[in-house]
Amino acid sequence: WPSISFGPPGNIDDLFSFGFFAAIPAFLCGVCQYYAASSVDPLHLKYFSFSGRVIALALMHKVQVGVVFDRMFFLQLAGRSVTLEDVCDADPILYMSCKQILEMDAAILDSDALGLTFAREIDMMGSKRTVELCPGGKDIIVNSRNREEYVRLMIKHCFVTSISEQVAHFAQGFGDILSNSRHQRFFFDSMDLKDFDRMLGGSNNVINVKDWKEHTEYNGYKSKDRQIYWFWKVVESMSEEQRRVLLFFWTSIKYLPVDGFGGLPSRLYIYKSSSDSQECLPTSHTCFYRLCLPAYGTKSMMHDRLQLISQEHISCSFGTS
């Protein structure tokens, strides 16, 4: 099993958070969007190179990290052009504005009623400045004859030019692990974004407890022992989020492969803890998918201990190695 740890400190959520990449945090639909504003950090390009290596390692070792890629970022990695329709979800306001310009009556647009030129104002962490979409752009008025070119350049500047360095450094880091640049572009171009997201993000399907049990073996316990019976009863009573947190505590994985537990590189294990103390919490060895479970004397005690380690802040900081 690869020596990769996505648990704190420095976990995968932090890697794709604002502090590193100006990304949308906390899995807002699970999408990471990369912005030019990340350049305010002098080390931002190194972070992009590092994230490329992390994603490549995750793909190489079939580790699901619960992250899906922004469409514009993926298209550039694949060497594809970004079109207006591609930005619909990324920036609905810009998308609708461009659509209105393209569909607007020519007479209204040619009257300069909108006052548009081939320039745009950008906000870099509170500091506004105007950039030209082409040489002399601030003096070129948008009209019915050049509006398609205006929209093309606007999309290119917003989603390509402004983050080209970030994309290049991510690709470099990715290529350091998996392939050279030529093969890498073919890799991204040969698949659909949804397929890539399934490989990287894993499945958001409800965790199947029956499948979980079928892929779990025991050491020091037997499947019919009362502690094992209680354990699975407690797991069945958990919410979906609690199950994911427990799975993360146990394996450092929160998102399963599309084919469930059978897609993991190893079976899961429950070991009987060497401690006789009823007060001890379960511990885990995530690299080996091993949960060390004390022989609790009652179902109530089993319930309380499992509920405790199924809290996010405890799962991410206690008992894992």
Structural domain includes residue 131: yes
Structural domain includes residue 2: no
Domain CATH code at residue 305? 3.30.2410.10
Domain CATH code at residue 16? 3.90.1750.10
The answer for residues whose C-beta is within 8 angstroms of residue 272's C-beta and 6 or more apart is 218, 219, 220, 221, 292, 293, 294, 295
> How do beta strands 68-69 and 119-124 pair?
unpaired
pLDDT in tens, 54-78: 888 888 877 777 777 778 888 888 8
- Considering the domain architecture, whether residues 129 and 256 belong to the same structural domain is answered as no
* Whole-angstrom distance, CA of residue 117 vs CA of residue 24: 30
- Considering the domain architecture, whether residues 40 and 169 belong to the same structural domain is answered as yes
* Whole-angstrom distance, CA of residue 294 vs CA of residue 272: 6
Closest-CA residue to 94 (of 150, 30, 167, 25): 150
- Considering the domain architecture, whether residues 134 and 92 belong to the same structural domain is answered as yes
Structural domain includes residue 147: yes
- Considering the domain architecture, whether residues 217 and 308 belong to the same structural domain is answered as yes
- Considering the domain architecture, whether residues 180 and 147 belong to the same structural domain is answered as no
Cα angle vertex 222, ends 216, 225, to 5°? Answer: 110
Grouping H, G, I as helix, E, B as strand and the rest as coil, residue 133 is coil
pLDDT in tens, 76-105: 888 888 999 998 888 889 999 999 999 999
Structural domain includes residue 180: yes
Domain CATH code at residue 139? 3.30.2160.10
- Considering the domain architecture, whether residues 91 and 68 belong to the same structural domain is answered as no
Question: Cα–Cα distances in Å, from 31 out to 70, 71, 316?
Answer: 6, 9, 22
- Considering the domain architecture, whether residues 217 and 304 belong to the same structural domain is answered as yes
Structural domain includes residue 90: yes
Structural domain includes residue 6: no
- Considering the domain architecture, whether residues 309 and 222 belong to the same structural domain is answered as yes
Q: Is the pLDDT of residue 151 over 70?
A: yes
Domain count, the chain: 3
- Considering the domain architecture, whether residues 190 and 270 belong to the same structural domain is answered as no
The answer for residues whose C-beta is within 8 angstroms of residue 162's C-beta and 6 or more apart is 35, 36, 122
Q: Decide if 68 contacts 31 (C-beta within 8 A).
A: yes
Structural domain includes residue 279: yes
pLDDT range class, residue 127, cuts 50, 70, 90: confident
At position 302, the amino acid (one-letter code) is M
Grouping H, G, I as helix, E, B as strand and the rest as coil, residue 75 is helix
- Considering the domain architecture, whether residues 34 and 172 belong to the same structural domain is answered as yes
Task: Please give the average per-residue pLDDT across 173-186, as a whole number.
Answer: 77
Angle of the 164-177 helix axis to the 44-60 helix axis, nearest 10: 40
Question: Could you confirm whether 287 is annotated as catalytic?
Answer: yes
- Considering the domain architecture, whether residues 77 and 197 belong to the same structural domain is answered as yes
pLDDT in tens, 224-279: 999 999 999 999 999 999 999 999 999 988 878 878 899 888 999 999 998 777 88
Task: Please give the average per-residue pLDDT across 153-165, as a whole number.
Answer: 89
Q: Looking at 29, 287, 292, 316, which residue is catalytic?
A: 287
SS3 content of the chain, % helix, strand, coil (to 5): 50, 10, 40
Structural domain includes residue 7: no
> How do beta strands 268-272 and 290-293 pair?
parallel
Question: Cα–Cα distances in Å, from 175 out to 55, 179, 187, 194?
Answer: 10, 5, 11, 21
Instruction: Tell me the residue range of the domain where 227 lies.
Output: 209-315
- Considering the domain architecture, whether residues 48 and 146 belong to the same structural domain is answered as no
